[in-house]
Every structure is written in structure tokens, then in C-alpha cells.
Structure 1
């Protein structure tokens, strides 16, 4: 993997973990998420205009990613209502690169080196180890939440593969705004209808603006990496956000990080290293 691609992937992972941490600390996580996306779009739009490029061929891919991103937001919210974040987040993010690797290699014929394949599997195994299995590994142990997390992983894999193709017809800066703005507005309308405008207005704060900007910047960095690196490697490298989030939880939220999570973190680092040299 090119060093620039690795740097972009790690930047994306840091931003993703950061805005998830802020979402987790928000008074109303759904309202904060719904408001952050359109605010982020407005704030980053001026910076995307100098490199804005959109060709006619991009629209079928954008239509597909709109469906997948909207499903991602809805399924993720449903999963968090039924299970702990410590179950949903690592499971969804950890299995996504494995799905991408299988689809990219078997269905799309996109080549993946043996080291990159090992890296993908290492990252996936590492994030699952961070999450833990067995009795008491998850707070709720809800099977419905686990099933929803698997569907979230499928949507992540789906939009990763779709975006890889769609970037042939648009610049990463234009694509990220178009890809997130429409699902974000749909989600905002839905949450406003369900919770009311007062709940949305209550989340008008600087941290919500940062969440929005971090969403777009992180996604944009990942899309830029997709233009120069295999999709499975990009998807797997982004999963290092699980380890970053674990460190943030220990430092910021004062959560206890035991030997199992530390071992998982080491395995993820090894997986990312394999991606870098592969």
C-alpha cells in the first residue's frame, strides 16, 4: 500500500473514532447525528469547490450509495437501541473489510496480495478480540443487536465497493459531499418528525459542528485512499478506529482496558502493518 494511502486511512480512522466519541457523549445521540451531517456539509462545501468534478457517469453510483448510507444510519441507530456500542461498533466495523475482500476478489476480480489478505484478516480478528466473545462479553447480549450489527457491516462493505467505482467519475471532494448530504437530509427529516424540532435545536453546539466536519473529512480521506489503494485494504485500515476508540475510552471516559483488548489492539496494529507493506 502506498504510504500516502496509509496516512489517509489512519487520518480517517482518528476522525471516525473522534466523532463517535462525541456522539456517544451527546445528550441525544440521534438528534446530534442528524444535525451534524447537514452542518458538516455546509461547512466543508466551500473547500470542495476548487477541486469539484462531477461527470454524468457518477449518478448511478451515487444513487446506490445514497440507499446504502441511509440504510447504514437507520440500521446503526436501531442496533444501538438494542445492544451496547461495545458490541455493535467493533462487530460492524470488524466484519466489513472481510466482506469487502471476498466480494472484491471473488465477484469484481480486484487483485489482493497475500500480505494484504493477511492484513485484512488480522485487523478483522483484532477488532473482534477487542470486542470479546463469550459469556458477559457484551452488555446486553441481544441477538437482535448482533444481527443488526451484521447488516451494518454489509452496508459498510456495500458503500465501500460502490464508492470505489463511483470515484472514477467524480473528485473525492465532490463525491463525499454528494454521497453524505442526501442521506443526511433524509435522516434529519426523519428524526425531526419523530422527536420534534426542539430536540434538534438542543443539539446546536460547537461539538455538533465538529462532528459534522469530522464525518466529511474522515470520509473524504477514505475516498482519497480508495483512488490509490485496494478497497479491502482501505476498509481494513479504517478499522483501526476501533483501537483508537478503545484508547480514547480509556483516557477520556476512564473505561478499564484489560489484557484482551490490549491483545486485540496489537493484532490490529500488525494487520495495518501488513497492509502497509503489502
Structure 2
């Protein structure tokens, strides 16, 4: 893997972990997510217009990925209200490639190597350590794990959709087109809830807005890395975000991250690397 591609993928991993930690430490993650989404969509709209390149065949994919992105952000924000980022994030990011692999094997007939099978086992063990073997629900781990699985399912689903949808539009345009309906739906629903307008107004601060910008920049860095290296290599490096989030959760979000949770995050990263390169 070229050094420049490695640096770009690692930078994307760091920024991805960072924007999740920013939203996870907010008092109202749902409202903060609304601010992040609106900021990102508005800020990157001029670039998407300038580089607009899409054919009509993209619209069915946009419709499906928008719905999945809406569910993804709703589940992610709700998860961060009830559980630590260092619990939700490794489960969500780790299980997603496992689910993609399982769909490929069971429904698409792609098959799986011994290395990928070993990767699935490592991810499973890592998730158990992150979740905490025999832990109760008092610290939110049970709820966090459940929402983590829901988020992972959304990631896996829109990954499979986007793999084909991106063939009909440039990446930035595809991302913007998919995020606009998701953002409108998310913010619209939140505003209709009790005190929704006040919640969004309170969350309208620089940090949530910065999280939205970081999410798009992280994606741009991945695109740049993919130009320079294989998708498998980039995916492997990018998943170090799981370990980065676990290490930064204590100093940045004030979470209690013990050796078990860190070890679990490390196993998740190793398992995803095997799945990506297997």
C-alpha cells in the first residue's frame, strides 16, 4: 500500500472516530446530529453542483440509500443517548463488514476464505469483550449493543446498495443526493417532536457543526485513498477508527474504557482486516 494512501486512509479513520465522539459526548445527540447533517449538506452543496455528474439510473439507488441513511443516523444518535461511544462504535463498525460478507455468501454466492471466516470469529469475540461478558444493563451496554447491531445492519445495507449506485454518479454528487432527503426527513421528524425546535436551537453550536464537516472530509479522504490503493487495503486501515475511538473515548468523552473494552476493539480491527484482505 503506498504511503500516501495509508496516510489518507488513516486520516479518514481518525476523523470518522472524532466526529462520532463529538456527537456521542453531546447532551442531546439527536439534536446535535441534526445540526451536523444540515451543516454538511449545506456546506458541500456548492461542490456537488459544481461537479454534478449523474445519470437517471442513479435515482432508485438514491431513494433506497437515503432511507437507509435516515435510519442509520436516527439509530446512531439514539444509541449515543443511551450508551458510550466506545461500546456502540466498535459493534457498529465491526459487525457491518461481517454482515456484508454473510449476505454475499448466503444470497449472492460469493463464497468466503478461511481468513475471512477467522475474521468473523475475531469480530464476534471482540464484540463480546466490548459488550462485556455477563455485564448488566445499568451502564447502557445492553441497549448500546442492540443499537450497535441496528446501526451495523444499516451500514451493511447501504454499503451493498452504494456499491452499485456509485456507478451512476460521481462520489461527491452521489453522497450529497443521498444525504439531502435523509437530512430533511431526520430534521423534519425531530422538529415535530415535543420541544423539537428548542432542542435543535440549543444544539446549534460549533462542535456539532464541526462534526458534520468532519464526516464529509473523512469520506473525501477515503475517496482519495481509493484512487491510490485497493479497496481492501483502504478498508483495513480505515477500520482502525474502532481502536482510535476506544482510545480517545476516555480523554475526549470522559468514558470509562477498561482493558477489556480496548482489547475487544483491537480484536474487531484485526477481524475486519482479515475480512477485507481475505
TM class by shorter chain equals: 0.7 to 0.9
- In structure 2, what is the equivalent of residue 171 of structure 1? 170
Contact 2:21 2:85 (8 Å CA) reproduced: no
Q: Distance in 1 between matches of 2:4 and 2:25?
A: 32
- In structure 2, what is the equivalent of residue 207 of structure 1? 207
Q: Which runs of 5+ in 2 are unaligned?
A: none
RMSD in angstroms over aligned alpha carbons? Answer: 3.4
CA-to-aligned-CA distance 1:16-39 (integer Å, 9 cap, x gap):
211111112223221111121121
Q: Distance in 2 between matches of 1:229 and 1:110?
A: 17
Secondary structure, in 3 states, of the residue corresponding to 1:59? Answer: helix
Q: Distance in 2 between matches of 1:33 and 1:191?
A: 10
TM-score (norm 2): 0.80
Q: How does 1:152-167 map to 2 (within 5 A)?
A: 152-167=151-166
Counterpart check, 1:190 vs 2:189:
yes
Taking a change above 3 Å as real, the CA distance of residues 224 and 184 of structure 1, as seen in their structure-2 partners, is: farther
Higher mean displacement: 199-208 or 31-40: 199-208
TM-score (norm 1): 0.80
Q: Distance in 1 between matches of 2:111 and 2:126?
A: 23
- In structure 1, what is the equivalent of residue 261 of structure 2? 261
CA-to-aligned-CA distance 1:215-241 (integer Å, 9 cap, x gap):
22234445677785259x83x765432
1:98 offset after TM fit, Å? 0.7
Q: How does 1:19-30 map to 2 (within 5 A)?
A: 19-30=19-30
1:123 offset after TM fit, Å? 4.6
Secondary structure, in 3 states, of the residue corresponding to 1:252? Answer: helix
1:81 offset after TM fit, Å? 5.0
1:131 offset after TM fit, Å? 3.6
Query: Aligned residue pairs: how many?
Result: 275
Contact 1:123 1:237 (8 Å CA) reproduced: no
Q: How does 1:1-278 map to 2 (within 5 A)?
A: 9-80=9-80, 83=83, 85-110=85-110, 114-115=114-115, 118-119=118-119, 121-123=121-123, 125-136=125-136, 139-140=139-140, 142=142, 146-194=145-193, 195-222=195-222, 228-229=230-231, 234=235, 238-271=238-271, 274=274, 278=278
Contact 1:41 1:177 (8 Å CA) reproduced: yes
